[in-house]
Structure formats: structure tokens, C-alpha cells
Homo-oligomer: A and B are copies of this chain.
């Protein structure tokens, strides 16, 4: 198992060394991002999508109006971690991040405006003062320090159902210029790297990278590919059995076709995973099994691109759709990646 071997060896060249493509997190970012906090997805049919997320997966509906539905996980006290909006079906509309304070919000506005990037105040139900920006790669982002506090359902066990999703955990993005996107997120905004894949070349190039602010494996991961596109939204569940139960429920309540990949376990992140496609094709990951990364001397764990246990510690090979398909961001034309994508070889 070469991946384990890599880990044992400590992950190859040190971050920031001449031979590493990894960029260290800046210790002094212009504003303090706490974590990924919500994702907004465009859907064709609100009721069908609500059925998938509420009846199929066990998310809690906080608010439903004519154009949008706001959902959250069972442990979440904030208003929403997922917004479904009836427009631009199949597109990802926005990624939302928590920042530390209102001051951080103002600093973020100044930061993006100084770069000449769109940065405007916006209103979204359930969120405090909110800044909408477009980052240098075209990702539509929201930043805010607070959400309306809702009753958490953590101890309302009578309402647990299917996957019993607890909370949003991360987003995974296809990046056409992965190195630059990583450098922006780590070097500028202070995301720390937990794991990465690079090529087996004399001067290795980054193929994929997992970065976080909140102290576990990721808030945002990047994969080389036609991008920017959203590969998936990851939701955290309590354990492997909650994922098995979700398979049982989905397969016998009309959602069998939603299962795209898994269950299985990734080498990277150690995630026990299940990938689903929602009614508009948005990809959802249910996962459990990652670990703490908050120590200051944490060294990123490196994997080689051709390590078969990187992607799949065990499990069936991923289907072609999993490698190739993703949700475009509304109004943003994705580009071919700078590094050619290898043909998928099932193992």
C-alpha cells in the first residue's frame, strides 16, 4: 500500500521546499474565514429536490418559500447549510463561508474591492450581514459572520431518518488552474493543506489538494479538471452505518438511481463515502471517518497520482461520470485544465 507508505514517510518534500508545489498557509490572511457554511444550488423542481434532501437524506427544512428552500443538518444551529433555488437548474449558484467577525467581513470587502473584483452587500434570509464576491477564478462566494439561530435537532432522535446528516463539511471543486487556485486559497486566504496528490515527475505538479480552516481534513478541496465546476458538496454523518441505512432507504423509496459511487473508503482523508446525484445532477457526498488537523506542526500527507489506494482504499472503481461530471457555476464558462486529464482507468 504505497499510500500508507507515503504517510509513514511523512509525505515527501516539506511544504515550501524548492521541490514541493505546495504553498504554506499565510499566517496573516486579510480576513479570518472560519469554515465553509453553505452551498446554494439551482434546481428545476423545488418539490422534487425537497423530497430528495428531506425524505431521502434526512435534512431538516428551515424555511420554504416560492423560490427557495433552506435546509440544515441535525446538529446545525444556523439557519441553513443548503439552499435550493428554482433557477439555473443544475448550476451551483454560490458557496458560503463563515468569517470570524463583522470586522472580518468589512476587511473582506476591502480586500476584494482592492483587487477590482465584484464585492457587494447582499440580503439572504437567515444570514446576517452578507458580502457577495466573485473570486479571481470566477467562483461566486458569500461571506457572513452569523446566521439566524435555529433550534438544533441533535437530540430530537425521534426525527432521525436515513443518513441523519449532521452538518455540511466541505466542497470539492474542479480547478482548471489548480496550482493558482491553491496558491490563492492557501497563500492569500490562509487555508491550510491536509492532504494532496502530485505527479511522479522530477518537478512534481499538484493534481489535487485538500485544504481547511476549521481543523479537520477539508473545507474546500480542488481536483484538476474542466473548471471551475463544483464536483460535490460533502455532508458529515455519524458513522458507516448511517451511510448503509441511507443506501437501504434510498434504494427502496424511489431514489436507487441517485447512487453513483460507493460505499467505499478513500485513501485520502480516510473517508468512508457514498456519492449521490440529486434530481438536477448535483453530486452529494455522505462521509465519515476523517481526523483532526489543527496542530501547528501538522504536515500535509502526500499521495502519488498512480497510487491505486489514493482514490480507493477499497471499493468498486468509480464510474466515468464521477471523474468527468460536475455542476457549472451559473454564468461561468469552465475551461480545459492546464494539465491534461488522464483517461479513467478502473482498478
Q: Which residues of A contact B (CB under 8 A)?
A: 1, 3-4, 7-8, 10, 34-35, 55, 75, 77-78, 98-101, 128, 145-147, 149, 151-152, 154-158, 160, 162, 166-167, 214-215, 238-241, 244-245, 247-254, 256, 259, 261, 263-265, 267, 270, 272, 289, 291-292, 294-299, 308-309, 313-316
Across the interface, do B314 and A270 meet the contact criterion of CB distance under 8 Å?
no
A128 to chain B, nearest CB (A): 8
Beyond A155-B3, A252-B313, A270-B155, whether A100 also contacts B145 by CB under 8 A is no
A152 touches B313 (CB 8 A): no
Q: Are B248 and A314 in contact (CB under 8 A)?
A: yes
User: Beyond A151-B8, A299-B149, is A251–B309 a contact (Cβ under 8 Å)?
Assistant: yes
Q: Which residue of B lies closest to A158 (CB)?
A: B253
Tell me whether A249 and B294 are in contact in the complex, defined as CB-CB below 8 angstroms, given that A151-B8, A239-B238, A244-B272 are known contacts: no
Q: In the complex, what residues of B have CB within 8 A of residue A308's CB?
A: 256
Q: State the CA gap A263–B252 with chains docked (Å).
A: 17
Q: Nearest-CB distance from A209 to chain B (Å)?
A: 19
Partner of A265, one of B1, B158, B240, B247: B247
Residue of B155, B238, B297, B316 near A267 (CB, 8 A) is B155
Shortest CB–CB separation between residue A218 and chain B, in angstroms? Answer: 14
Cβ-defined partner of A245 (8 Å) among B4, B98, B157, B253: B157
Q: CB-CB < 8 A to A256: which residues of B? A: 1, 308-309, 314
Give chain B residues whose Cβ lies under 8 Å from the Cβ of A101.
296
Residues of B near A265 (CB, < 8 A) are: 247-248, 251
Q: Are B272 and A146 in contact (CB under 8 A)?
A: no
Closest 6 CB pairs of A and B: A251-B314, A316-B316, A157-B248, A239-B239, A146-B297, A75-B291
A-B CB contact pairs (8 Å), 16 listed: A1-B252, A7-B155, A34-B294, A98-B296, A155-B252, A155-B270, A157-B248, A157-B251, A214-B292, A240-B244, A241-B241, A247-B315, A251-B265, A251-B309, A261-B316, A316-B316
A214 and B314 form a contact (CB under 8 A): no
Residues in B whose Cβ lies below 8 Å from that of A253:
157-158
Query: A158-B252, A166-B291, A240-B241 given. 15 additional CB < 8 A pairs?
Result: A1-B252, A1-B254, A3-B155, A34-B295, A78-B295, A98-B295, A146-B296, A154-B270, A155-B270, A155-B313, A214-B215, A239-B239, A244-B263, A247-B265, A247-B314
